[in-house]
Amino acid sequence: MAIDSMLQRQVMGRFATGVTLLTTRFDEGVLGMTANAVMSLSLEPPLVVVSVDKKNSMHECVMRGKCFALNMLRADQEEISRRFAISGPKDFSGLRLTAAETGAPILVDAIAYVDCKLVEILPGGDHDMFVGEPIAGEVREGEPLIFFGGEYR
């Protein structure tokens, strides 16, 4: 029998991760969402994955825009993570933003970003895994924001 979801949260919460601001661009505009279910899937060909809850507005927006960017947050960007982890309209005010290839917002002050074309959608229960082909990216200096045991480190 499967373990309950609370125990799964606690166990997987012991797996320390970085934190990203997942962004997308679609017809009506742009959207951002905090995400840590992120993985480098393949190098040949280059592929990355982000897992998104089907209930989140980000899910429909990535499906529409067929692109996404992952911005790896810096240690002092906890406020950005909190701001984009709240359901509903997202506030990009005060952020230094640019765009790369797809038009998804790129955070100038993040420690790295990867800008992707959506190439596949893999089903996973109440989430879908969006597989992206990176078409632009950059690495910058700085320490990462860490998420562990449900807290920022």
Phi-psi region of 29 (alpha: psi -120 to 50; beta: other; left: phi over 0): left
Residue 36 binds ligand FMN (CB under 6 A): yes
Residue 33 binds ligand FMN (CB under 6 A): yes
Number of residues that make up the chain: 153
d(CA 90, CA 72): 18
Which residue number, 44 or 73, has a Cβ lying nearer to ligand FMN? Answer: 73
Residue 51 binds ligand FMN (CB under 6 A): yes
C-alpha distances (whole Å) from 44 to each of 40, 116, 117 are 11, 15, 16
Element (DSSP H or E) covering residue 141: none
Contact letters for ligand FMN, residues 73-112 (x by CB under 6 A): --------x---xxxx------------------------
Residue 26 binds ligand FMN (CB under 6 A): no
User: Which residues sit at the interface with ligand FMN, rule CB under 6 A?
Assistant: 19, 33-37, 51-53, 56-58, 81, 85-88, 147
